[in-house]
Amino acid sequence: MASTVLDSALFRDAFGTPAMRAIFDDAALLARYTEVEVALARAQGRLGVIPPQAAKEIAAGCDAARLDLARLKQETEVVGYPILPLVRQLAAQCGEAGKYLHWGATTQDIMDTAVVLQVRDALVLIGKDIAVLQATLARQAKRYRDTPMAGRTHLQQALPVTFGYKIAVWLAMLDRHAERLQQMRPRVLVGQFGGAAGTLASLGDKGMPVQQALMEELKLARPAATWHAARDGLAEAVNFLGLLTGSLGKIAFDVMLLASTEVGEVSEPFVQGRGASSTMPQKRNPISSELILACAKAVRQHAGLMLDALVQDLERATGPWHAEWIALPEAFLLTGGALHQAKFMLAGLQVDEARMKKNLDMTHGLIVAEAVMMGLAPHLGRNEAHDIVYGACRVVADKGGRLADALAAVPAVTKHLDKAALEKLTDPANYLGASQEMVDRVVGKRA
């Protein structure tokens, strides 16, 4: 039975996805180890480092699906690493040619390069999910471009914005993450082949040519220098996941706050029974947003662990490397889960425009006090205008009524602004700033 949410039959598809698990499960990892060993043999056979016929037999004979997993598990626990037990089994599959398997390589060469292959596949999935979210948010930003709502700072109503503007802010974050993803690929998708201490000494003058040929086989970039103990590439990948899920968490937190009973401006997609309470039949909890937040928090912890693992000793680490085995796959699984929940939640997000208008009007004009102040400032100066509007706001706050009416009772105001001007200034829909223009700029980038 599974013991974590990432493997649990109950929870694994809430915190992850089958597609991402398929990249990082044991079968996939062993297949990647085998792929690297075969690619190494092919590269060395092509260069004459090992007999070309042996390379062909290794390529034909190695089969990760025929590995004895029970034996591999037992021997890995004894050795501490899986590659030596793996090579023994693969070599036996290849007969006489097996003696040329793993020629001049070290355990970390195989494991690191296999992980890079996994990361490459995982980043493809993540890139596709980001693209889906970008398209969804672009449509919604355009749809709600002109829908006024209360903008809030410090959880208090501040100034009017549009819901399209809010979505455009979310979309711009994802645009930057898509850009980061592309920019980091050349730094992250770099193979590893250095031998025992990273110098390729065991292959003599063939070391560098073999390294080049191996990376060509695997379609990975070639390192300028061995990165056995310089792990910034993989750390960057996981910290990118921390940035991405952090942004998804911000979106989820916004949705949760806007979905609260007292605000009620949006809600997650309706699915019969989803978000129900065992004791409160009226409840409709924001389940996807909650899961996104949980995944984001966990990924940030793994991002920190990857940063900690950067501090490695000399030419081979004595522990930090092992921490990566925990942090990296779990971070990718959780990111896949967060993206999956975000796609579902945002594609079906329910928006209550009437509630947005009601909430926008609930302060009877106080939300646009700044607009009135700026309207009076050319006549009275900013400071005096601020004090007059502040006084009118206090009247509305203490005695009720509308800001327009309170201002209309102040001679210093009516001397410069008539009733029509005050009504216009205190209409939140007239004080949206550049909200719509920013929507157009963000969405327009896709043209």
* CATH code of the domain containing 255: 1.20.200.10
Q: Could you tell me if residue 17 is inside a domain? A: no
Give me the catalytic one of 3, 8, 102, 154. Answer: 154
Residue 278 lies in a domain: yes
Active-site residue flag, 8:
no
Q: Are 128 and 336 in contact (CB under 8 A)?
A: no
Q: Which of 260, 277, 322, 416 is catalytic?
A: 277
- The pLDDT value recorded for residue 380 is 84
Report the pLDDT value the prediction gives residue 282, as an integer from 0 to 100.
58
| 74, part of any domain | no
Q: Are residues 382 and 444 in the same domain?
A: no
Domains: count for the chain: 2
Q: Kindly state whether residues 251 and 173 are assigned to the same domain.
A: yes
- The span from the CA of 302 to the CA of 327, in Å, is 5
Same domain, 125 and 263: yes
In order of 38, 215, 224, 396, the CA distances from 316 in angstroms are 24, 22, 18, 70
252/328 same-domain check? yes
- Scored b (16 or more CB within 10 A) or e, 419-442 reads eebbbbbbbbeebbeebeebbbeb
Res 275: pLDDT = 52
Looking at the fold, whether 143 and 239 belong to one and the same domain comes out as yes
Task: Give me the pLDDT at residue 273, please.
Answer: 60
Residue 139 lies in a domain: yes
Q: Are residues 150 and 240 in the same domain?
A: yes
Q: What local confidence, expressed as pLDDT, does residue 270 receive?
A: 75
Instruction: Supply the CATH number for residue 416's domain.
Output: 1.10.40.30
* Three-class SS state of 1: coil
Report phi then psi at 149, rounded to 5.
-155, 170
In a domain, residue 91? The reply is no
Residues 401 and 445 in one domain: no
Q: Of 378, 381, 356, 352, which Cα lies nearest the Cα of 367?
A: 356
pLDDT along the chain (447 residues), means of 10: 81 88 94 96 95 95 94 92 93 94 93 96 97 96 96 91 97 96 96 91 93 96 91 94 97 95 90 57 77 95 92 82 90 96 94 95 89 88 89 90 89 88 89 94 86
**Are 186 and 240 contained in the same domain?**
yes
**Is 277 a known active-site residue?**
yes
- Residue 391 inside a domain? The answer is yes
Question: For residue 384, what are the domain limits?
Answer: 366-425
